[in-house]
Amino acid sequence: MTICVDCRMIDASGIGVYLRESLPWFLQSENNFLLLGNPSRLQCYSSNANVKIIECDIKPFSLKELFFFPLKTARQINSASLYFSPYFNIPHYIKIPVFTAIHDIIFPDMPELTSKIGLAARMWFYRRAYKKSQKIFTVSEFSKSRIQYHLGTKKPVIVTHSAIQPEFLAYRANIQNAQKTQTIVFVGNIKKHKGLAILLDAFSLAKKDGLPHRLVVIGAKENFRTSDNTVLQKIESLGGEAVTFTGFISDEQIMEYLSKAALLVQPSLYEGFCLPPLEAMVLGTHALISDIPVLKEIYSGYPVTFFRNGDSSDLKEKLMELLFNKKPSSPVLSDDLLLKYTFKKTASVILGELK
């Protein structure tokens, strides 16, 4: 069987990780692969005897992809047995069976994140992918239930979890009792569903009660939009160096921040899977996370601490409780928990379904 894999988003954040870490396991199978994307970025796979690269620089979800996709490229794709995309964009002229991934379906669940026109456009893409796909992959039972709620139950929706990157496990093996600093880490963007405003409210309350820690936001302050003025005001009201932004940093730097942090806080209002708590725990740092359904699903059995979703007062109390040594200094993960989510498992499920 020859599988065409859309690799144009291989450098994206969550989607890119899902693809990059699954791809080596794909290539170990007995199948042949056409990898669609930037040849220079995919060069590392070209030495595999079962790999051929199809050059394509057309942006996903663009008008060109939808209506003016090159016939030559489409013919190359259609020479494969099937087409797999790690997201839900599908080029025009694809005639072979299509399999896509919808990691979450946040916009109809949280329509306040976009305009009416934006929501309509996104729903069009969701429905198009659902209609054209033989099967849909997603990353949690929660996301599966929401996809079925919004798009229907006629198509199979298969859960293929995201997972920890091997680099984190290797880094874990090289750190022994990392010296903790007085930092609280938040990983994510500043969109409303990530819950940074709730964390800032809780952090401000904790500061008034004498909390000495800094809040480190792993991300760029420049990403704030005009609509985020209230969040900026909250940060400015804290003054000084209470809140700092790392800007874009490497995975190595992220691992260093996580391993040295006193605590990771994930105050998300909505997620499809959410890796930072797992990454933090692997590196010996406690995770304080909101009790939304998907996080309770994914982190069931893990030594995390939950706070009431959207409740900054409860988050503040849990912050103070954890940071004043009422819990062990480092979470302990059994081998079963360390290996509960792996990309080897994810790739195996996907390949099994593609057959």
CA count, 13 A, side-chain hemisphere, 33? 27
Contact 269, 290 (CB under 8 A): yes
Contact 22, 101 (CB under 8 A): no
State yes or no: pLDDT of 148 exceeds 70: yes
State yes or no: pLDDT of 191 exceeds 60: yes
State yes or no: pLDDT of 331 exceeds 90: no
- Can you give the pLDDT at residue 180? 87
Contact 145, 175 (CB under 8 A): no
Residue type, 191: K
Q: Give the CATH number of domain 166-338.
A: 3.40.50.2000
Q: CATH class for domain 2-164+341-354?
A: alpha beta
Rg (CA), the chain: 21
Q: What b/e string do you get for 109-144 counting C-beta neighbours within 10 Å, with b at 16 or more?
A: eeeeeeeeeebeebbebbeebbebbebbbbbbebbb
**Better-scored residue on pLDDT, 112 or 230:** 112
**Residues forming CATH 3.40.50.2000 domain(s) in the chain:** 2-164+341-354, 166-338
Q: Tell me the pLDDT band of 236, cut-offs 50, 70 and 90.
A: low
Contact 129, 136 (CB under 8 A): yes
- Can you give the pLDDT at residue 228? 58
Regarding beta strands 263-266 and 183-187, do their DSSP bridges make them parallel or antiparallel, or are they unpaired?
parallel
- Can you give the pLDDT at residue 60? 95
- Can you give the pLDDT at residue 226? 43
% of the chain surpassing 70 pLDDT: 92
pLDDT per position as a tens digit, 98-109 = 999 999 999 999
- Can you give the pLDDT at residue 251? 87
204: left (phi over 0), alpha (psi -120 to 50) or beta: alpha
**Beta strands, E only, the chain:** 2-6, 32-37, 51-55, 82-84, 98-101, 133-138, 157-159, 183-187, 214-218, 243-245, 263-266, 287-290, 305-307
pLDDT per position as a tens digit, 22-55 = 999 999 999 999 999 999 999 999 999 999 999 9
pTM comes to 0.91
191: Cβ contacts below 8 Å, ≥ 6 apart? 113
DSSP structural state of residue 261 = -
Distance CA 140, CA 274 (A): 10
Contact 329, 281 (CB under 8 A): no
